Chain A
Amino acid sequence: MNIHQSAIPVLIVIVPLLTALALPVVELWKRSAVFPLTLAALAFSFGASVVTAREVLANGPIDYYMGGWEPPWGIAFRIDHLSALMLLLLGCITLLVGIYSKRSILKELPEKEAPFYSVYLLLVTGLTGLVSTADMFNLYVFLEIASLTSYALISVGGGVAVVSAFRYVILGTVGAAFYLLGVGYLYSVTGSLNMADLASILPDLYESNVVLVGFAFLVIGLSIKMALFPMHAWLPGAYSNAPSAVSALIAATTTKVAAYVLIRVMYFVFEPRFSIDTIPVTMLLSWMGAIAMVLGSLMAIAQSDLKRMLAYSSVAQIGYIVLGVGMANAMGFTGGFLHIVNHAFMKGGLFLVAGAIIYRTGIREIRGLRHLSVRMPWTAATFVVCALAMIGIPPTGGFFSKLYLILGAIAANHWAFVAVILVSSVLGLTYMVNVVRYMYFAPAEGEAIPAGITPGAVVREEVPLTMLAPMLILAVGVILLGLFNGEIVSQFIDPSIPERLAR
């Protein structure tokens, strides 16, 4: 096998880690240096992922062996096309949210920037590590780094946020413990932790009950981490009570990375024939995804708090990803993975908008958004673009991932899923249009106007540029993802589709 080694993937993970450790010291020396240093680390990480992605596209997957120990003995990093795409996505989102967070954290957490950015960078370390590693136990460690830092970041919101974070700790720990148990079971029969090595040993053991149980624990553990219905109980509280920048970061990345890990385990550590035929886990996941799509959207319609609505909508969107991946054909896989990328951009953008509104006006209620199109025109415009993508209007990215999902459902002859995707889109339309209606249109005849808002006295008060620019970039990104979806699919996703699914 032609092995192509490079140390760049490690730098993507290591640089944020070292910077995170350095920040508390830097703060003692010069507090104003904390934020630029954070930004530099995030920018470096993003730059390195761009270099890595170019390398992967040109020369195929990159391997790196920690300390020169070859797998299966040592820990290895492996960047293939899918992980390169995920690294690009993470680099982009964490950098943009990092820029955005400066003003909002100054306001929500004065004097506490250094600890905040330390934890922020550790979260980036955990997420990029999760995507890069090729070792099952190393993955557990990164999973816990990412989880522990998200607990801490969510609790920074204070008050109810701490209670939500505690709930997340309990459920998240159960998820991680199940994952660990699954790894333990697999290790007990194979004696290996390396993903490629496991993939070559496991096929002979597919009949073994131990492997079955291990696989079940892995899938359940990761489903909790990605908040797949009905294991989503931690998500709405955590997303809606966290500080704005944290909501955007966590909503755009953590559950997506957990979904990515699930794909890794189901299709790359185990062979698709195991996940599809031996136990029909893909079918089961698809149905859970379908239920999540409908119930998540219905719950979102029932919310009056903007961030809470977006959180329930996330539950529904996780359903799309899982539905696509569980459909077990090339189209569905492409749609599901594309939706990971698209959803990170659009949900990141929407949470940034919600944060900007809270930053400027303190309003959380959807009913309070009257005249927002006059007060904050660019923010409102960003919301509309991202909302259109969520509904799935061309040429935004959301349209194409849904198109692939529908094509996949048709190819798999699951007309019920086609119906579910369409119904869920209509429900999505309902709650998104409701918000846009409040933002852009005058109150209807006889409708009560919330106190404190007098038409005519509305002044324009847009958020500062450092907050506005990341939102606009995400909004443009949502459209670009749609226009260039063919490129993404053919360059990154197609080369990685497992053989069994392509047939």
Chain B
Amino acid sequence: MLDFAIGHFNTVTYILLMMIGFHAMTSKTNLVKKVVGMNIFQWSIILFIVSLAAKQGATIPIVLGGHDDHGVAPILEASQYVNPLPHVLMLTAIVVGLATTGVALALLLRIYKRYGTLEEDELLEKIQTSG
């Protein structure tokens, strides 16, 4: 069991983080805490996918030397380089996450201006009474 957890360190970490985020989203009544939970949820997945690219004993995917004078590329061992694609994809996902957080915070701002609270139970009460 412990061996499994150590061997799948990245999986265990992401599931833990994901559940923390999920807990904050479902059981916190403060809307800002929900947004924080949502962020943790997203980042856990981003961390996980980045960790998929990791390789034992490999280096950053920058090819030194490049082409020689005759335009022939050196033969590369894929196992010596980290796969850059997951990182690039997750850069995009981070931008998407940023946009989502921005929209969520903008909505919270408007909710606060209108109802004067960010506590879910108080908010529901105010919606019930004021419509």
Contacts and interface: CB of A to CB of B under 8 A. Distances in A.
Interface of A: 137, 140-141, 144, 148, 151-152, 155, 158-160, 162-163, 165-166, 169-170, 173-174, 176-177, 180-181, 184, 187-188, 193
Given A144-B96, A144-B100, A173-B38, 19 more contacts: A137-B89, A141-B92, A148-B100, A148-B103, A151-B103, A158-B110, A158-B114, A159-B114, A160-B127, A163-B123, A163-B127, A174-B22, A174-B38, A177-B41, A180-B49, A181-B48, A184-B48, A184-B52, A187-B85
6 smallest CB-CB distances across A and B, nearest first, come from: A184-B49, A144-B96, A166-B107, A188-B52, A162-B110, A169-B104
B103 A180 contact: no
Contacts of A181: 45, 48-49
A138 to B, nearest CB: 9
Nearest to B99: A148
Contacts of A148: 99-100, 103
A345 B104 CA distance: 31
Interface of B: 22, 25, 31, 34, 38, 41-42, 45, 48-49, 52, 85-86, 89, 92-93, 96, 99-100, 103-104, 107-108, 110-111, 114, 123, 127, 131
A137 B91 CA distance: 12
Secondary structure at the B interface, as helix, strand, loop or mixed, is helix
A71 to B, nearest CB: 14
Nearest to B112: A162
Which of B45, B48, B89, B107 counts the most A-chain CB atoms under 10 A from its CB?
Answer: B107
20 contacts: A141-B92, A144-B100, A148-B100, A148-B103, A162-B107, A163-B111, A163-B123, A166-B107, A166-B108, A166-B111, A170-B38, A173-B42, A177-B42, A184-B45, A184-B48, A184-B49, A184-B52, A187-B49, A187-B86, A193-B89
A88 B49 CA distance: 36
Contacts of B110: 155, 158, 162
Contacts of A170: 25, 34, 38, 104
A144 B100 CA distance: 8
A476 to B, nearest CB: 37
Nearest to A166: B107
A271 to B, nearest CB: 25
Nearest to B34: A170
Contact of B103 (A152, A160, A176, A193): A152
Contacts of B111: 162-163, 166
A176 B45 CA distance: 11
A474 B102 CA distance: 36
Contact of A140 (B34, B93, B103): B93
A168 to B, nearest CB: 9
B42 A155 contact: no
B86 A169 contact: no
A193 B99 CA distance: 23
Nearest to B31: A166
A162 to B, nearest CB: 5
Contact of A141 (B34, B42, B96): B96
B107 A169 contact: yes
Contacts of B108: 166
B96 A169 contact: no
B103 A177 contact: no
A188 B42 CA distance: 18
Nearest to B89: A137
A177 B45 contact: yes
B93 A180 contact: yes
A173 B41 contact: yes
A141 B91 CA distance: 12
Contact of A174 (B25, B31, B48, B107): B25
Contacts of A166: 31, 104, 107-108, 111
